Structure 1
Amino acid sequence: MSLESKRQPIIVRKVIRKGGHHGGAWKIAYADFATAMMAFFLLLWILNATDDPQRAAIASYFQDPTLFEPGSPVLTVPAGEGTGNAPSIIDFGGGFAIQPEGMTPAQLQALARQLDAARLEALRLSLQEAIDDSAALAPYQEQLLVDVVPEGLRIQIIDRENRPMFDLGSARLLPHAAAILGEIGAMIETVPNPTAITGHTDARPYTSPDYTNWELSSDRANAARRALIDGGMAESQVGRIVGLGSSAPLEPDDPKAPVNRRISIVVMSLDAAEAAFENETLEIGTE
């Protein structure tokens, strides 16, 4: 047998890797990194520009923003300080009369807004990543809408023709909808911002004259609240529960469309929360 006949054939296998540098996972990782770096540099700036009492006040604010609601003795400041004559969310005065040396009240308020925006953006990225990758949420991508609205970060869970969230005409959550809300509640728990939960129905009339779409949407919003809390969201984070019936359809041209049946959860920005609570305080005071 010749030497050439003893040679083994050389087999070349080509491995084709899917995705590679064209995948989108790196974008989420980079966005998380950029958000973390921005928060880190803001932290360094705070440490350098404030004294111990100011840092303690800022820490208290982010641990419990309710201490800084309008009318709180901690934040009542004389007219003319800060922006406008109304109390500001981080205008120090009143109760312990801190006089910032490194930062003005307006600068502290601007800093709070920047940190709040960074926090909500990080939550949005985490939610979007979970919707794409989470075993619990990925199957329901088409039913989950996440966007930024003037009031804050909005998460909507909508019905599909063959996949409703509730039993027909009922406020009883189906198991998959309860699981979705539980996952979302665990993520909302990571931020201190209050939430506004709104229930919506389609325009199909309810059969009972004593129980209409207004009652149904309110009961469904409350059912969503319970599921969010079961998932980990603090009960103190619930700022508002609203039932809008069929008055605000997602598809105005088709008011009976399934997508109009939905739960909307808004993680409120601190500015929006302050304005909402301030308006409620004013309404109570004028009655």
Structure 2
Amino acid sequence: KQGLANYFSPEAVSLSMSGSGGVMGGTAMDNSGNLMSGSSSDVVQEEPAASRNPVAEQPSSSEGGTPRARGSEERASSDSEFNLQAVDTQAFHSAAASIKQAWQSMPEITPFMDNLLVDQTEEGLDIQIMDQQGRAMFPEGSKYPLEHTRAAIAAIAPILQQLNAQVSISGHTAAGGRYDNPRYGPWELSADRANVVRSVLGEFGLSDDRVKSVAGRATDEPFFPNDPYMAANQRVKITVLHTPPPVPAGLKP
């Protein structure tokens, strides 16, 4: 969650951080995020032609070549996936720092820093905008964010656009919510909030082709599974997804 001006800074941040050390954790920056990117190339050694045992030669097949060739392709694919993950991880560290700096530079966001969480996961970079007790990010029962929430969403749009990655957006509600309309409940509300967040991101710089999915999860995925009524379960999650690995040559259509 660090600032726009620091987007390409080499400074590393902790994998999980919230604004000011509330229930979501601390804010300290450290060097634990420094990662080395790169790969080790696999070298396949072959015997000289004269010394090969013809009986041991592996026949090629029309469905993917020799086992040796298939193994080389699989190792190359694995190396490519590792390289992509390393590049993503470094980019996500920088983006997290940029997001946090952007929010910290906005006085209207200062009282709500504990409502904002940036966290690297196996899936990618999670940015969560959540309620806290006494500090809401959406009016109760409304799909439209409060002004400080809208400002926080707007601030991250250009940073997400710079990442050149796909984004998924999901809405979540806490248990025990009140709904006056029997045809409009947690599923509808969580889906609508996710879609409004998508719209705000688009308004401030995130192109539509970057959005992979928008979904409402209702109460199905609480942030605190042991306390589904907790305010922080009511949130919108924006996930910047890791770059998918390339399809091995043998599996391409």
| Structure 2 residue identity aligned to 1:238 | V
| Structure 2 residue identity aligned to 1:229 | G
Q: Distance in 2 between matches of 1:107 and 1:122?
A: 23
Cα offset for 1:239?
0.8
Sequence identity, in percent? 28
Residue 31 in 1 paired to residue 3 in 2?
no
Cα offset for 1:235?
1.2
**Partner residue of 1:211?**
184
Q: Distance in 2 between matches of 1:112 and 1:172?
A: 36
Match of 1:168 among 132, 140, 155: 140
Say if 1:249 and 1:141 are closer, same or farther in 2 by CA, change over 3 A: same
Q: Distance in 2 between matches of 1:133 and 1:146?
A: 16
Say if 1:210 and 1:38 are closer, same or farther in 2 by CA, change over 3 A: closer
Say if 1:172 and 1:119 are closer, same or farther in 2 by CA, change over 3 A: same
| Structure 2 residue identity aligned to 1:233 | L
Match of 1:233 among 203, 206, 211: 206
Q: Distance in 1 between matches of 2:162 and 2:126?
A: 16
Cα deviation code 1:164-215 (max 9, x no counterpart): 2222211122211111110111211111111111101111242322111011
Residue 149 in 1 paired to residue 121 in 2?
yes
Q: Distance in 1 between matches of 2:80 and 2:230?
A: 46
**Partner residue of 1:247?**
220
Cα offset for 1:248?
1.7
The answer to which structure, 1 or 2, has the higher relative contact order (CA under 8 A, 6+ apart) is 2
Cα offset for 1:130?
2.8
| Structure 1 residue identity aligned to 2:95 | L
- Equivalent residues of 1:251, 1:257 under 8 A apart: yes
**Partner residue of 2:174?**
202
Cα offset for 1:108?
4.2
**Rg comparison, structure with higher value:** 1
Q: Distance in 2 between matches of 1:131 and 1:83?
A: 43
Structure 2 gap ranges (5+):
1-7, 13-30, 42-63, 247-253
**Partner residue of 1:11?**
none
Superposition map of 1:1-287 within 5 A: 31=11, 80=70, 82-83=73-74, 107-135=79-107, 137-205=109-177, 206-271=179-244
- Equivalent residues of 1:130, 1:137 under 8 A apart: no
Cα deviation code 1:235-258 (max 9, x no counterpart): 111111111101222233332222
| Structure 2 residue identity aligned to 1:232 | G
Q: CA RMSD in A?
A: 3.3
| Structure 1 residue identity aligned to 2:238 | I
